[in-house]
Chains A and B, each alone.
Chain A
Amino acid sequence: MIDPSVVSLSRLQFALTALYHFQFVPLTLGLTFMLAAMETVYVITGKPIYKEMTQFWGKLFGINFAIGVATGLTMEFEFGTNWSMYSHFVGDVFGTPLAIEGLMAFFMESTFVGLMFFGWDRMSKEAHLAVTYLVALGSNLSALWILIANAFMQDPQGARFDPTTMRMQFQSFGSLVFSEKAQAEFVHASIAGYVCAAMFVMGISSYYLLTRRHREFALRSLRIAALFGIVSTLAVITLGDAAGREDYLVQPTKLAAMEGLWQTTKPPAEPWKLIALPNDATESDLFDFSIGIPYVLTPLVTHTFNQAIPGIDELKMEAAARVENGIRAVTALEQYAQTKDPNALSEFEFYEDDMGYGFLAQRFAPDQDLTKITPSDMPGIVTKTARASIPNVFVEFWSFRIMVAFGFAFLVIFAFGAYYSLRNTIERQPWVLYLAMWSIPLPILVALYGWITAENGRQPWSVFGWLPTFEAASTHSLGYMIFSLLGFATLYTLFIGAELYLMFKYARLGPSPAGSAEPRIAPAGGPAILRPGYAAKSWE
């Protein structure tokens, strides 16, 4: 039996450490490619300013990268430390992409990042450029394998449950890797990282232009960033639509919650809700009030005009129909595990497809023991389980809307930035510069909302349809969880403080030693020291 508060604290810890880690990942994903792009220009044109740019943005990248690596360690170990049942249940499948991520991607990224920082004078320009590209490739491959792993939790492909080993066994490497969910997630999430990086570079460049420092450096960085930003944001929106359609196909409960669909839709006039206050307790919108745009939802989600989208009422009914069979499957499985009775096995195999719903019902059974359910308990347990199969609608509805709204806002900001930058009049548009500067943290925040949309929408499942989150946790005591949570909270708070302090310090310091308040600290823009004449010419 597992203590519900231990499960809640384990979920809280995982969510907090994952979200914390994910503040740093998108910037890493995007900045590596921007660094590679800047260095490519440097190698082709031979203009030292592009080397300056690569090195300066590389320094800020380093501050971000260190903490991303550090907090990524937590993620890999937490599956084992806090989700033992999960690790046992899907380790045969899920461990593979994680291990390959280490072998193929993370090793490459981490080995070459050292050379990228330290190897400027130790190899040819071309070799260094290759190293930078390998870092970019490594970090993005890393994201690919992690999202393949994550997609397995959303839409388990390539595995089937084996009653002998009591776990999901790997059946098809191809189905796991080429899962459409994985492809959709990877491109959407990694390109969201490019948006974060573009805003980061554009925002800091705007700050220099506003404070009238490092003019040429900032103008060039801003132009690259704005163009990179437009392309990335357009891609992220398009690919987000593809990801949403995947949800409709394989995770209908997530989609219904995302769009706040309490009832199955009536195509084609069904409006797309812009604003509503979904109330999970009453399963309706507060005051039955919503503002929507008719005729948008159906083509948006289904890419047709006539398909209905199942609402929460219908999905709950479908779930309810599976609960009793699921309970039969799990009790037969338990009997088979203990007695190896072939009759129990064939009963299990008959109901196997509904097994997940049996596990889902477990927390509502007396003493969390399905064999103790009496016929009179059953209707209550079915209702509760069906209700539990729907994620929190309010959270899902609004995190999705925040993500989408900001996504379009970024497109506008990048478009203005690119327009004025290409016309060489960006300095006369301080409002664009201010807007870009204040927007630096927003894409990262929005990426976090994207993560919440994906993972809250997966609930109540750890592995969609197979293993509920509630059953997946380790059987820790409350004391253990309080210990680790307090530790993470303390360390991570100190880290973010140090990170922000250094980011601000080095961003303010800028690429040129001229603006340095503390010249004794190895100033950014080292080569500028070697060529003072050049620095004086092109910077101020």
Chain B
Amino acid sequence: MELYAVLKLIWVLLLGVLLVGLGTMVGMDMGVGTLLRFVGRNDAERRTALNIIGPHWDGNQVWFILGGGAIFAAFPTLYATSFSTFYIVMILLLFSMIIRPVAFEYRSKVEARNWRETWDWAFLISGALPMIIYGAAFGNVLQGVGFHFAWDGQYYQDESFIWYLLNPFAILCGVLSLALSIQQGGAMLMLRGVEPIYGRARRFAVSASFIAAALFIIGGIWISFIKGFVYSAPVDPAMAATPLAGPAVAMRAGAWLDNFHAFPLLWLVPVLGLIGMIGCALSLLAGRPALGWWLGALSWIGTIGTAGAAMFPFLMPSTTMPSQSLSVWNASSSAYTLGWMLVFALIFVPAIVIYTSWAFRIMGGKVRTETVSKNEHSY
């Protein structure tokens, strides 16, 4: 296999790592935001819940930024096309994402009840909405999106945003992603929280795990009826990255299962996801939130891995011009860029994991209401 094709493969795997990191770390904070009003019934409890992720949300959020940056650098045409065709939801996602940092920093700096209540609602919206959109984006991409390219590489959108905003499969994926984030957030709240937050978080997280598992199974069955995409002519993985020269692509119901039929070992990926979700619920019930948290991360690996395995090598297929579908082979950067980016990723991703773990260790331990109200930097 040519080096360029290998680099493309490595980068789609790294993209998977970043998307799992995004789901796990940002999802955890989003889950806490979504649950805030429910696990905390008074201001002191809510502040305690917020301060559980207080020292970390800022760093965690960078997974989101890095996810965007990596798509830009490694798959620029995907970045340009997906962000523009999903404009309305992307803008909604941005609005909810930019409310969140401000909510953290400003909520507890004024004592008025209305002020804090308003920010608590902001946490709910800015927690739930991005996760629903994150999942729904996957749901839409799995079904293909209506777009085509002009000769110069400019995209043109061929369908209205109502379709990708409101279609049942995308909503299912959105709710699945929200459920996974509640599971992750709930596990964290249990890990560093005490009663009554601990017990309430457990109730929500366990239900979320079971809902996620159910939706994951339904989605898996549904996918076999969805029209998948498949190259109907030989494709050169080391091709120059342009969607304009693409070989023919066919659409066929059940095509998303082709990879699983060809490589039965791939079935392990969705199975791991299910083990993660069920295992997370059981660990939380057994009072083992740390184990539950890691199994929650495994659920993300399984879910995103399943979507990736089903679609590979496609990244964003086009329903209106299938031969211009974006894939790992035709939407990537040049070999030079992928190579340099890999050097930086190999140095800095491990560094990030190390100092993030260090930060979690330094700030570890239970967060109690008394300590929160004593520390002047508390949220």
List residues of chain A with CB under 8 Å of any chain B CB. 55, 58-59, 62-63, 65-67, 69-71, 73-74, 76-77, 79-96, 98-104, 106-108, 110-115, 117-120, 122-123, 162, 164-167, 169-171, 173, 333-334, 337-338, 474-476, 480, 483-484, 487, 491, 495, 498-499, 501-502, 505-506, 518, 520-526
B340 close to A (CB within 8 Å): yes
Q: How many A-B residue pairs have CB under 8 A?
A: 276
- Assuming the contacts A87-B80, A476-B84, A487-B95, asked whether A518 and B334 have C-beta atoms less than 8 A apart, the reply is no
CB of A92 within 8 A of CB of B59, answer no
B256-300 Cβ-contact flags toward A at 8 Å (1 or 0) = 000000000000000000000000000000000000000000000
Contacts A69-B101, A114-B56, A484-B87 given: A80-B378 contact, CB under 8 Å? no
Q: Which residues of A contact B70 (CB under 8 A)?
A: 99, 102
The one of B79, B80, B245, B337 that contacts A93, using a Cβ cutoff of 8 Å:
B337
Q: Which of B153, B156, B245 gathers the greatest number of chain A CB atoms within 10 Å? A: B153
Q: Which residues of A contact B377 (CB under 8 A)?
A: 55, 58-59, 62, 117-118, 120
B→A interface (CB under 8 Å): 54-59, 61-62, 64-66, 68-70, 72-74, 76-77, 79-84, 87-88, 90-91, 94-95, 97-102, 104-106, 109-111, 151-157, 161, 240-242, 244-245, 333-334, 336-337, 340-341, 344-345, 348-349, 352, 355-356, 359, 362-363, 373-378
- Bound together, the chains give a CA A91 to CA B57 distance in angstroms of 29
- Whether B54 lies near A114 (C-beta < 8 A) is yes
List the A side residues contacting B64 at CB < 8 Å. 73
A55–B104 CB distance below 8 A: no
Q: Are A66 and B101 in contact (CB under 8 A)?
A: yes
- The one of A69, A102, A111, A480 in contact with B69, judged by C-beta atoms closer than 8 angstroms, is A102
Contacts of B99 in A (CB 8 A): 70, 491
Contact A104 to B348, CB < 8 A, known contacts A87-B76, A523-B376, A526-B376:
yes
Contact between A84 and B336 (Cβ–Cβ < 8 Å)? no
Assembled-state Cα–Cα distance A244/B303 (Å): 52
Contact present for A91 and B362 (CB under 8 Å):
no
Given the complex, which residues of B lie within 8 Å of A122, measured CB to CB?
A: 362-363
CB <8 Å contact, A108 and B97: no
A interface SS class = helix
Residue of A62, A98, A170, A487 most packed against chain B (CB within 10 A): A170
B94-A74 in contact (CB<8A)? yes
Residue of B nearest to A113 (CB): B58
Of all chain B residues, the one with the shortest Cβ separation from A64 is B105
Apart from the given pairs A95-B73, A103-B349, A522-B376, 11 other A-B contacts in the complex at a CB distance below 8 Å = A63-B106, A66-B106, A87-B72, A87-B80, A98-B69, A107-B352, A110-B58, A114-B56, A475-B156, A480-B88, A526-B375
Assess the A166–B244 pair: CB atoms within 8 A. Answer: yes
9 residue pairs from A and B, CB less than 8 Å apart:
A67-B102, A77-B90, A83-B80, A85-B153, A92-B334, A99-B69, A99-B73, A99-B74, A173-B340
Cα of A518 to Cα of B349 in the assembled complex, Å: 44
Distance, CA A305 to CA B88, complexed state (A): 55
Residue in B closest to A106 when the chains form the complex, CB atoms: B62
A333 / chain B contacts, CB cutoff of 8 Å: 152
Please report the C-alpha to C-alpha distance between residue A483 and residue B88 in the assembled complex, in whole angstroms.
8
Contact of A170 among B54, B69, B240, B334 (CB under 8 A): B334
The answer, among A85, A95, A119, A164, for a CB contact under 8 Å with B240, is A164
Give the residues in chain B near A90, CB-CB below 8 Å. Answer: 76
Query: A81 with B69: in contact, given A91-B77, A166-B242, A173-B340 (CB under 8 Å)?
Result: no
Could you say which of B61, B95, B156, B373 contacts A522, with CB atoms under 8 Å apart?
A: B373
Residues of B within 8 A of A165 (CB): 240-242, 334
Are A70 and B100 in contact, CB atoms less than 8 angstroms apart?
yes
Inter-chain contacts of B94 with A (CB < 8 A):
73-74, 77, 81
How far is the CB of A138 from the nearest CB of chain B, in Å? 10
Q: In the bound complex, do residue B362 and residue A119 qualify as a contact, i.e. CB atoms below 8 Å apart?
A: yes
Smallest CB-CB A-B distances: 10 pairs = A91-B76, A80-B83, A95-B73, A66-B105, A111-B59, A114-B55, A95-B72, A87-B80, A99-B69, A99-B73
Cα–Cα, bound, A82→B83 (Å) = 8
Residue of B64, B91, B111, B352 most packed against chain A (CB within 10 A): B91
Q: Which residues of the partner chain B approach A73 to less than 8 Å between Cβ atoms?
A: 64-65, 94, 97-98
Contact of A99 among B56, B57, B341, B374 (CB under 8 A): B341
Cβ of B152 and Cβ of A66 under 8 Å apart? no
Closest to A66 in B: B105
Residues of B near A483 (CB, < 8 A) are 88, 91
Tell me if B102 and A524 are in contact (CB < 8 A): no
Contacts of B337 in A (CB 8 A): 92-93, 95-96, 169-170
Cβ–Cβ < 8 Å partners of B104 in chain A: 66
Q: Please measure, in the bound complex, the distance between the C-alpha atom of A99 and the C-alpha atom of B74, giving whole angstroms.
A: 9
Q: Which residue of A lies closest to B72 (CB)?
A: A95
Who on chain A is nearest to B98 by CB? A70
Q: Are A89 and B153 in contact (CB under 8 A)?
A: yes
A85-B154 in contact (CB<8A): yes
Q: Is the CB of B375 within 8 A of A96?
A: no
Q: Are B72 and A80 in contact (CB under 8 A)?
A: yes
User: In whole angstroms, how far apart are the Cα atoms of A167 and B333 in the complex?
Assistant: 10
Please report the C-alpha to C-alpha distance between residue A475 and residue B81 in the assembled complex, in whole angstroms: 11
A102 cross-chain contacts in B, Cβ below 8 A: 62, 65-66, 69-70
Complex CA distance for A518 and B109, rounded to whole angstroms: 11
Contact (Cβ within 8 A) A170 B102? no
User: Do A108 and B355 have beta carbons less than 8 Å apart?
Assistant: yes
- Give chain A nearest CB distance to B78 CB in angstroms: 9
How close is A78's CB to chain B, nearest CB, in angstroms?
A: 8
List, in ascending order, chain B residues with CB within 8 A of A58's CB.
Answer: 377
Residues of A within 8 A of B72 (CB): 76, 79-80, 87, 91, 94-95, 98-99
Q: Which of A74, A100, A162 has the most CB of B within 10 A?
A: A100
Q: Are A110 and B333 in contact (CB under 8 A)?
A: no
Compute how far the CA of A430 lies from the CA of B363 in the bound complex, rounded to whole angstroms.
Answer: 45
A334-B152 contact in complex given A99-B72, A495-B102, A520-B111, C-beta closer than 8 Å: yes
| A170 pairs with B340, CB closer than 8 A | yes
